[in-house]
Amino acid sequence: MLAHENAPMSDASTRTVLTPSRGLIPLDIRELVAHRELLWFLTWRDIKVRYKQTLLGVLWAVLQPLATMVVFTVFFGRLAGMQSDVQGPYALFAYTGLLVWLFFANSVVNASQSLVANTNLVTKVYFPRLFVPLAATFAALVDYAIALVLLFAIILFYGVAPDLEFLALPLVLPVAFLAASGVGMLLAALNVEYRDVRHATPFLIQLWLFLTPVIYPVTLVPEKWSWLLFLNPMSGIVHVHRAVLDPNTHADWGALAISFAVSAVIFLVGAFTFKRMERSFADVI
């Protein structure tokens, strides 16, 4: 948020000078709402750029989770014997977890690079720069929606049908969005100052995958350590997301509540860190 100072130019006119705010910068909700159309424009631009001049276009949104599901099913479901640890087909188990995990992972990776990738825009005109990483997260929701269609085909293939818990899906996605956008905003701001973030982010995402019950069920974690598992916000998100889409499992709403609390904290930390560092973006990017 920038402060405004009016300085006289002549008897008949004034000029507005934009100066950085000092101290802890709160989120200016009114400013974000006033510029909301810019957020949709940036989101739509990210979607078009992602698939521009690609041979398969939006099919990549389906191929990534599908190919990963096949690999996980062969190596973890069959060779590692995890099929015996889950109820129902392991392929369905893996895909329902991968669907929301890939949304999170792609959001974080793209958001972390978003400011550096838009250097010309950031340095030449003022706008709520918070929209740049947020647009990357919104764009990832489109990939999620496309990949969700394939899930119904997989469900039909295995001859199962979603139960009433499927109606709770809109409760899970906002929590996933909070976590993804919070981490994305934090890494985007840090990446402007420290370009090591670009190299560290893929490693962070890979490590985070194995700390999240995407490949394995939460039942494999000893009960006395389950509270530690759910301090990872993606654990509760993946677990409940899988439960509402896979009729072979049931949701633990307490886990989602913990994930929501942790995700909200991450979002606030990411947003406040971003706004605090924003004053120097144009100088160091």
Non-local (6+) Cβ contacts of 62 within 8 A are: 146, 147, 149, 150
Residue 137 and residue 125: Cα distance in Å, rounded? Answer: 22
Q: What is the pLDDT of residues 250-271, one digit of tens each?
A: 888 999 999 999 999 999 999 9
Phi, psi of 97 (to 5 degrees): -80, -40
- A 10 A CB-CB count for 45 gives 13
Non-local (6+) Cβ contacts of 195 within 8 A are: 116
Q: What are the domain boundaries of the chain?
A: 27-284
Q: What is the pLDDT of residues 77-91, one digit of tens each?
A: 888 888 888 888 999
Non-local (6+) Cβ contacts of 177 within 8 A are: 137, 141
User: What is the maximal distance between C-alpha atoms in the chain?
Assistant: 82
Listing DSSP states for 157-211 in one string gives HTT----GGGGGHHHHHHHHHHHHHHHHHHHHHHHHH-THHHHHHHHHHHHHHHT
Which residues of the chain, if any, have pLDDT below 50?
A: 1-12, 18, 20, 23-24
* Residue 180 and residue 108 in contact, taking contact as beta carbons nearer than 8 Å: yes
pTM: 0.86
Please name which of 63, 70, 147 lies closest in space to residue 104, comparing C-alpha atoms. 147
Please tell me the predicted confidence (pLDDT) of residue 53: 65
Q: Which two tokens stand for residue 150?
A: 């394939």
